[in-house]
Amino acid sequence: MKRSRYVELAIIVFCAWLACAGAAQAQAPAQTQQAPPAAGANLGAGTETGIGTFQTHCMGCHGNPNLERVPSPDMIRQMSPERIYDALTIGAMKAQGESLTEDQRKMLATFLSGRPLGSLKEGDAKDMPNHCASNSPLADPSSGPSWNGWSADLTNTRFQSAKGAGLTADQVPQLKLKWAFGYPTGLSAFGQPTVVSGRIFVGSDIGYVYSLDAQTGCVYWSYQAKGSVRSAVTVTRVKGHGATKYAAYFGDAHANVYAVDAQTGQELWTTRVDDHFVARITAAPKVFKGIVYVPVSSSEEFSSSNLDYSCCTGRGSMVALDANTGKQGWKTYVVPTPVPVRKNSKGVQQYAPSGGSIWNSPTIDAKRNAIYFGTGDGQTEPVPDTTDAIMALDLKTGTTLWFYQAQAGDAFMGGCSGPDRTDNCPKVNGPDQDIGNSPILRKLADGKSVVVFGMKDGTVTALDPDRKGSVVWKVHVVEISKGEENSFFARLNGIVWGGAADDQNVYYGLQSGGMVALKLATGDVVWRATFPKPAGARVINSAAATAMPGVVFLAGSDGKLHAVSTADGKSLWEYDTARPFETVNKVVARGGAIASIGPSIANGMLFIGSGYAVTGTNSGNVLLAFSVQ
């Protein structure tokens, strides 16, 4: 029993944080412009296990809309961790808190607020010793070398040009650590750094967004969001805010989107894009021609098997906001509106359909006026065929242009794989594929284009955007050994956070370790690379790759950052980030696992965060900057 829970937890965490991706075809339009269902309960970032504790101990009152004076789960989620902790220990919820362990109280406070205790005060740049001496007017972000968001471009190739990189393949072996910045009280340095106008913009798990100087790491400002900020920041021109020229855009763990003045960190607007209680934004919005495109996901799948819970009403969506005002335009849900379907054995109403979280930053196809993204699995049966799919929407209207379902029938919920499963659970749980990585749009030598994505089972597929997403090629890069076909883990050894592509190849890191290069035109394997590791150790390399001419970078759960040649996969450089670092802001910091992001490269420098609490022991809180000088 104990063991099964542990395994289950590992699966949930694995799936949730590594953004969960399978094979089939389909039709059924997604829903546009619908009101979200009145959410029973939902949470978000931080400790995913907190959701179960909350469902069992708190939802009886806080999930009951008929009780007066009881703040809704959603309202509690807007509170600070200190306020929630105080309520449970010395405040109004002392009696309820007494039936919990101290760890559970802290976990609830962290989980509900979406950031650690103590982070509110400690994270503020005001108290840091490394303020920049001056804050000269920000240069136009589009005027110089940049890595602006999840990818250096809008098409998610994660490729930096020779000009943008300011670094050659020959220089890569000479890369040296230039400075390190510590995220106060942080446990996961999972923000993909943005580099524009000589500055870094990066979010943190403690809910602060920082603006730093790229050369020195001195701090210009911090902005405190209402929840953790995993999404990369995009900086572009903004209008209608007086002297403010450029805004930094990002989303948080409570489905809030923000625009702040990129020069000063002053808030310009904030918009909540989904009011489901565990709705969240984990991936970077894209900003294009005055519109912010926001991918919405949900934490509901982590623990919805709880019989006290009205499972399930959370679902993914893409939302378009006016970049100047934050006003919402279209919103397209991945699955139709959940409706009551049955009561569970405890008499608690159950809903379907649900799921289809969008865990990845969308891809903009300016030529075809389309936006592409991957969708997550369903939670409840029957599973809509827009789940585990690539969807293409019209940029202007949000109408579905086409979709390709890679895995049919994937209903997955944490708590449903072991002997403790309840009748909230889907009849068949999983395979928990999800398409967690951003589709890569690339033009081929023959003038045709492909939309390429990978899945957790190791399938890589190229779709034709000119033929409604029909399959150009499809290959399996991870062998599933005989007898393991139905093994849950064996089917999760492939691709999670995504690849990088130059004009020849696409490069994917693998959950089972190492990486693979495939020809963009055919899907043929060009080479495979393995990285040295201690005998018997499992090292996960499914973080996102980053490419520049001649070099592809990939990090691992062991904290090692590798640079290999795009020609043959041979090692060019390696750096071990899993150690303590002295930091420019004097915060005690160390690196750990790098399990989600890849380096951002611009103007002769390379930036990456190290530390990822979800892998277990390898948490960390450091942002590292490298250059050849």
| Residues in touch with ligand HEC (CB under 6 A) | 57-58, 60-62, 69-71, 76, 79, 83-84, 87-88, 91-93, 96, 108
- 496, 515 in Cβ contact below 8 A? no
- 493, 541 in Cβ contact below 8 A? no
What is the smallest separation between the CB atom of 42 and ligand HEC, expressed in angstroms? 14
Which residue number, 12 or 88, has a Cβ lying nearer to ligand HEC? 88
Which residue number, 92 or 339, has a Cβ lying nearer to ligand HEC? 92
Which residue number, 92 or 366, has a Cβ lying nearer to ligand HEC? 92
The residues, any chain, with a CB within 8 Å of residue 497's CB and separated by 6 or more, are 18, 19, 436, 437, 509, 542, 543, 544, 595, 596, 597, 598
The residues, any chain, with a CB within 8 Å of residue 136's CB and separated by 6 or more, are none
Which residue number, 29 or 91, has a Cβ lying nearer to ligand HEC? 91
Token code pair at residue 101: 């362990």
Which residue number, 89 or 270, has a Cβ lying nearer to ligand HEC? 89
What is the smallest separation between the CB atom of 112 and ligand HEC, expressed in angstroms? 6
What is the smallest separation between the CB atom of 106 and ligand HEC, expressed in angstroms? 11
What is the smallest separation between the CB atom of 100 and ligand HEC, expressed in angstroms? 6
What is the smallest separation between the CB atom of 72 and ligand HEC, expressed in angstroms? 10
What is the smallest separation between the CB atom of 67 and ligand HEC, expressed in angstroms? 7
- 597, 543 in Cβ contact below 8 A? yes
What is the smallest separation between the CB atom of 87 and ligand HEC, expressed in angstroms? 4
- Tell me if the bond preceding 312 is cis, omega within 30° of 0: yes
- Among residues 584, 575, 590, 489, which one has the least CA distance to residue 540? 489
- Among residues 501, 503, 531, 533, which one has the least CA distance to residue 517? 501
What is the smallest separation between the CB atom of 86 and ligand HEC, expressed in angstroms? 7
Which residue number, 57 or 560, has a Cβ lying nearer to ligand HEC? 57
As a whole number of angstroms, the distance between CA 567 and CA 480 comes to: 27
The residue whose two tokens read 């802290």 is 106
User: How many other C-beta atoms can be found within 10 angstroms of the C-beta atom of residue 22?
Assistant: 25
What is the smallest separation between the CB atom of 299 and ligand HEC, expressed in angstroms? 16
The residues, any chain, with a CB within 8 Å of residue 554's CB and separated by 6 or more, are 507, 509, 515, 541, 543, 545, 546, 561, 562, 564, 598
Sign of CA dihedral 558, 564, 570, 572: negative
Residue 49 Cα distances to 42, 43, 106, angstroms: 12, 10, 12
Which residue number, 81 or 611, has a Cβ lying nearer to ligand HEC? 81
Which residue number, 93 or 455, has a Cβ lying nearer to ligand HEC? 93
CA atoms within 13 A on the CB side of 544: 34
As a whole number of angstroms, the distance between CA 466 and CA 456 comes to: 26
As a whole number of angstroms, the distance between CA 394 and CA 319 comes to: 12
- 121, 185 in Cβ contact below 8 A? no
As a whole number of angstroms, the distance between CA 450 and CA 155 comes to: 11
What is the smallest separation between the CB atom of 254 and ligand HEC, expressed in angstroms? 15
Which residue number, 84 or 320, has a Cβ lying nearer to ligand HEC? 84
Which residue number, 110 or 119, has a Cβ lying nearer to ligand HEC? 110
What is the smallest separation between the CB atom of 47 and ligand HEC, expressed in angstroms? 13
Which residue number, 91 or 580, has a Cβ lying nearer to ligand HEC? 91
What is the smallest separation between the CB atom of 419 and ligand HEC, expressed in angstroms? 26
Residue 487 Cα distances to 263, 476, 507, angstroms: 51, 17, 26
As a whole number of angstroms, the distance between CA 481 and CA 45 comes to: 35
What is the smallest separation between the CB atom of 113 and ligand HEC, expressed in angstroms? 9
- 458, 46 in Cβ contact below 8 A? no
Which residue number, 55 or 429, has a Cβ lying nearer to ligand HEC? 55
Entry field: residues in the chain: 629
Longest dimension (CA), the chain: 69
The residue whose two tokens read 């979800």 is 614
Which residue number, 71 or 144, has a Cβ lying nearer to ligand HEC? 71
What is the smallest separation between the CB atom of 65 and ligand HEC, expressed in angstroms? 13
Which residue number, 62 or 226, has a Cβ lying nearer to ligand HEC? 62
- Among residues 505, 499, 509, which one has the least CA distance to residue 562? 509
The residue whose two tokens read 């405190």 is 224
